[in-house]
A and B are shown apart, each in its own frame.
Chain A
Amino acid sequence: VMLVLYTGYVGLGAAVLRALERPAEVRAAQHLLQQHWELLANHSCLQGPTLQRLIEDIIQAYKSGITLQGNTTSLSRWDFSGSFFFSISTITTIGYGNLSPNTSAGRIFCILFALFGIPLNLVLLNEIGQLMLLGVQNCAHCLEEVFHWQKKTSLLIKTCALATGLLVFLLLPPLLFSDKEGWSYEEGFYYSFITLSTIGFGDYVIGINPDRTYPGWYKNVISVWILFGMAWLALVIKFCINFLE
């Protein structure tokens, strides 16, 4: 039930943000394109100040999430899939920032959306974490009964669970990323950790490279990975803290 509510909430946010941001994005992209063509038409008369201005405009546009790619601009950042991913990055507090609301209405909505979304996210992660913990404990009980081991199993099981989690959430995904995104293994690992710890710099983001095609299931699988990975990492950190205190 929680999961349905969560998905619904994220979807709602995505739709609203898309409606708010898309028109402004289209306008800004058109403006930049126009400048680009003007420059190309007149480049024999280019001077220092004009170049300076062009650079500043490209910087400005880049900050708004628009880059020049050949003859077009990297538009459709705020299509539904992009907005959905943005909503997730907001309520998980990852906050990549490669895409961020430019209209003032979009920003206000973003604040309200996060205000309710972040607690929702925390509750869901907590539930997923509890489920995982329960699963591990059940495994431990099963093994205890089958093999008649004692208290040592608890530590063994916990280490096993930690190692599996490490493999699934941090060590294997970079392989997927190096295939689909063309990153090196180290970059994929860096991205995985920065995402799951919710730091989310935004220097590496999946699925935004315009020169690559991604299968339909890609972004959805990644979203699921993010959710479960965050829950797992939160559990690990909780254990770390309990250990420290």
Chain B
Amino acid sequence: KAMCSGKLQTGLLGVGYFIYLLAGAAVFQALERSAEKEEKIAAAQMKEAFLQNFTHLTVAEMEQFMKNLTEAIQNGVYPVGNESQFEDSNWDFSNSFFFAGTVVSTIGYGTLRPKTAGGQIFCVFFALFGIPLNIVFLHRVGKMLSLLCKKLGKFLHEKGMQKKKIKFLTLLFFLVTGILVFLCLPSLFFQITEGWSYSEGIYFAFITLSTIGFGDYVVGKQPDRHYFSYYRTLVAIWILFGLAWIALLFNL
């Protein structure tokens, strides 16, 4: 019975976790989207003005333009392409959800980040409660998985294996399957969807699952590629299970 209530608790926790992320995504979207649109318009106007007048510009004005351009890029606004760029926002719902996930898991890529003061303050409080929530959730999932391990161990023990050998084997088994499923296979997947090389894919997988999250490689960010609809959701699920796997390894 205790097992049942434990599972129920974990399930509820999972649902609560998911709802927390959804709520955060909605708030971030509300806070950041309009500011982003303004920046995009400003950058495009700057580019237009430049193109109209470049023959009359002095060297100093050129320098100023380059500086403004660099600043825009540093703010995450890339004035390439034409008008259609205004429609895809960095802060549409699925991107905001992904962002909320990277905050709570402390990965923090940084390619997407709150620029309004309100967004930043909300981010701090969102993380303050979200990170413990994330840790507790992963801890629970890790525990459940390790209980499964123990069951497996018991089964093998009854078949006559020694305890030490069982422990070693289960550790090895999870390590190897984990590396395969969470590092090697996804890298193959990313080779197809992102066009990265295999080693870049492994680098990305490692940097993400260790929660370092540099942000030099991020899924779904190449402007000239088309991603199928649930790509980011799939990647988010992979990240979640990968982190749970690492939590399991710590428990073993």
Q: How far is the CA of A51 from the CA of B47 in the complex (A)?
A: 9
CA of A197 to CA of B213 in the docked complex: distance in angstroms?
13
Q: What residues of chain A lie closer than 8 Å to B50, measured between beta carbons?
A: 51
Interface of B is mostly: helix
Which residues of chain A come closer than 8 Å to B73, judged between CB atoms? 58-59, 62
Is A245 in contact with chain B by the CB < 8 A criterion?
yes
Chain B neighbourhood of A94, CB < 8 A? 108, 212
A107 touches B132 (CB 8 A): no
Cα A40 to Cα B115 with chains together (Å): 32
Chain A CB within 8 A of B169 CB: no
Contact A97–B213 (Cβ < 8 Å):
yes
Interface string of B113-140 (1 = CB under 8 A from A): 1010100110110011001100110010
B108–A95 contact, CB under 8 A?
yes
Q: B251 at interface (Cβ–Cβ under 8 A)?
A: no
Is B80's beta carbon under 8 Å from chain A? yes
Flag B79-101 by CB within 8 Å of A: 1 or 0 each.
11000000000000000000000
Q: What's the Cα separation between A5 and B212 when bound, in Å?
A: 21
Which B residues are in CB contact (< 8 Å) with A110? 203, 207
Interface residue B21 (Cβ < 8 Å from any Cβ of A)? no
Binds B, one of A41-49, A128-136, A141-149, A220-228: A41-49
Give the most central of B50, B69, B115: most A CB within 10 Å: B69
Residues of chain B from 49 to 107 with CB closer than 8 A to chain A in the complex: 50-51, 54-55, 57, 59, 62-63, 66-67, 69-70, 73-74, 78-80, 102-103, 106-107
B20 within 8 Å of A by Cβ? Answer: no
Cβ-defined partner of B216 (8 Å) among A39, A58, A97, A186: A97
Supposing A189-B124, A190-B120 touch, asked if A40 and B59 sit within 8 A by C-beta, the answer is yes
Indicate if A93 sits at the interface (CB-CB under 8 A).
Answer: yes
Contacting pair A190 B47 (CB below 8 A) = no
Q: How far is the CB of B102 from chain A (nearest CB, A)?
A: 8
A147-172, CB under 8 A of B: which get 1 and which 0? 00000000000000000000000000
In the complex, chain B residues whose CB is within 8 Å of the CB of A189: 124
Task: Tell me whether A59 and B80 are in contact in the complex, defined as CB-CB below 8 angstroms, given that A111-B206, A199-B106, A241-B132 are known contacts.
Answer: yes
List A31-60 residues whose CB lies under 8 Å from chain B. Answer: 36, 39-40, 43-44, 46, 48, 51-52, 55-56, 58-59
Given the complex, which residues of B lie within 8 Å of A52, measured CB to CB?
A: 80
Contact of B132 among A55, A67, A184, A237 (CB under 8 A): A237
Residues of B within 8 A of A62 (CB): 70, 73-74
Residue tally, chain A, CB below 8 Å to B: 51
**Cβ-based interface call for B220 (8 A):** no
* CB-nearest residue of chain A to B131: A197
Distance to closest chain A CB from B56 (angstroms): 9
Q: Is the interface of A mostly helix, strand, loop or mixed?
A: helix
A43-B62 in contact (CB<8A): yes
By a CB distance below 8 angstroms, the chain A residues around B51 are: 48, 51
A56 touches B107 (CB 8 A): no
B217, closest chain A residue (CB): A100
Q: Given the complex, which residues of B lie within 8 Å of A44, measured CB to CB?
A: 54-55
A63 to B202, CA, bound (A): 19
Chain B minimum-CB-distance residue to A52: B80
Bound Cα distance from A40 to B54, whole angstroms: 11
B229 CB to closest chain A CB (Å) equals 26
> In the bound complex, what is the Cα–Cα distance between A111 and B21 (angstroms)?
29
- Flag whether B186 is at the interface (Cβ < 8 A): no
- Specify which chain A residues have a CB less than 8 angstroms from the CB of B106 in the assembled complex: 93, 197-200
Closest to A102 in B: B216
A203 and B212 form a contact (CB under 8 A): no
Whether B110 pairs with A190 at a CB distance below 8 angstroms is: no
Are the C-beta atoms of B123 and A190 separated by less than 8 Å? yes
> Which 6 A-B pairs rank lowest in CB-CB distance, beginning with the nearest?
A199-B108, A95-B212, A97-B214, A201-B110, A97-B215, A202-B110
Given A67-B74, A237-B131, A237-B132, output 8 extra A-B contacts at Cβ < 8 Å.
A46-B54, A67-B70, A93-B210, A111-B202, A194-B127, A200-B213, A241-B132, A241-B135
The interface of chain A, by Cβ under 8 A from chain B, is: 36, 39-40, 43-44, 46, 48, 51-52, 55-56, 58-59, 62-63, 67-68, 70, 90, 93-97, 100, 104, 107-108, 110-111, 114, 118, 184, 186-187, 189-190, 193-194, 197-203, 237, 240-241, 244-245
